[in-house]
Amino acid sequence: PYVIVCNHQASLDLMGMVEVIPDRCVPIAKKELMYMGTVGWACWLSGIIFIDRHRREDAIDVISQTARTIRRENVR
């Protein structure tokens, strides 16, 4: 397992990064992107997991649940 940390400059950079990262990576984005119209819909449909950076405990919970699901089901 590994973690790729990307410091992108714009919201659209995330869409390009999703295309070049390995298949077994799970993209995670800030929840605010979900409310950006077409970009939000595209992110949601492509399977990006959204976290609320303002609620630290909720963000940790979402990431932990995602990691458990990946390990248990051996899926992306």
Residue 49 covered by a domain: yes
DSSP state of 34: G
For the packed helices 38-45 and 13-20, what is the interaxial angle rounded to 10 degrees? 20
Of residues 38, 55, 54, 56, the one with CA closest to residue 46: 38
Model's pTM, two decimal places? 0.63
Q: Identify the band that residue 66 occupies on the pLDDT scale cut at 50, 70 and 90.
A: confident
Whether 19 is covered by a domain: the verdict is: no
Domain count, the chain: 1
pLDDT tens, position by position, 1-11: 556 666 667 76
Q: Is residue 11 part of a domain?
A: no
Q: Would you place residue 67 in the very low, low, confident or very high pLDDT band (cuts 50, 70, 90)?
A: confident
10 in a structural domain: no
Query: Rounded to whole angstroms, how far apart are CA atoms 48 and 11?
Result: 13
Distance CA(46)–CA(26), nearest Å, equals: 10
CA–CA separation, 54 vs 12, rounded Å? 21
